[in-house]
Amino acid sequence: DQQVKQNSPSLSVQEGRISILNCDYTNSMFDYFLWYKKYPAEGPTFLISISSIKDKNEDGRFTVFLNKSAKHLSLHIVPSQPGDSAVYFCAASAGLGNTPLVFGKGTRLSVIA
Amino acid sequence: EAQVTQNPRYLITVTGKKLTVTCSQNMNHEYMSWYRQDPGLGLRQIYYSMNVEVTDKGDVPEGYKVSRKEKRNFPLILESPSPNQTSLYFCASGLRDRNSPLHFGNGTRLTVT
């Protein structure tokens, strides 16, 4: 059973517009969420995170929104740039000590100039 | 430079021939982990280690072994590789604080024929 779901395998957005990447989770014990970005031939790199005590976290062009009642989070990138083209992974962890991260399948974002 | 180093980057081998993929980190991280990435399946955890001499199974441990004799190294061992282990492998490290982002290596692409 997939606990972290990214239902859109790919997304295409024009440069300068907003990119919205979505993530749903099923485990109500998850209380910390992260987004990682991955370029081809490189490992994933940490982008932004959010704790369940918040509903929004912002870092420059990147904002993550958390809706706990819907078990849904989203990553907004504004404005989108061609260099943002990558695969984005949503990840979650539960408040059970050092429980490892559970990753989604990823969404490939293409930002078109 | 803080980094996670995996070797080799590419490896082609035959069924049944034992191999080891090395992973080393220079950030004094307690936590290390191995993931495999497959099309449509995202990142799945193979094994992880909370500290020296402490290892645990992840979601897909079958066919793999690990060891953690030193803090900086976490090799992944395939005693008898099979074609279904053809994949892209990532090593990651982080602090034991589960809210601390993981640092990933650049990946090892393994092909088993």
Task: Decide: helix, strand or coil at residue A100.
Answer: coil
Residue B36 in this model has a pLDDT that exceeds 90: yes
Least Cα separation, residue B24 to chain A (angstroms): 14
3-state SS, one letter per residue, for B21-41: EEEEECCCCCEEEEEEEECCC
* Cross-strand partners of B35: B45, B90
Q: Are B34 and B89 in contact (CB under 8 A)?
A: yes
Do the chains contact at B35 and A103, CB–CB below 8 Å?
yes
A23-56 pLDDT, tens per residue? 999 999 899 999 999 999 899 999 999 999 999 9
B75-98 pLDDT, tens per residue? 999 999 999 999 999 999 998 776
> What are the two backbone dihedrals, phi and then psi, of residue B85, each rounded to the nearest 5 degrees?
-95, 5
Interface check A99 vs B, CB under 8 A: yes
How far is Cα of residue A46 from the mean position of the Cα atoms in its chain?
10
Mean of the per-residue pLDDT values of chain B: 94
Strands A19-25 and A4-5: antiparallel
CA atoms within 13 A on the CB side of A6: 28
Contacts of A48 in chain B (CB under 8 A): none
Residue B2 has what pLDDT?
82
- CA A34, CA B57: separation in Å to the nearest integer? 22
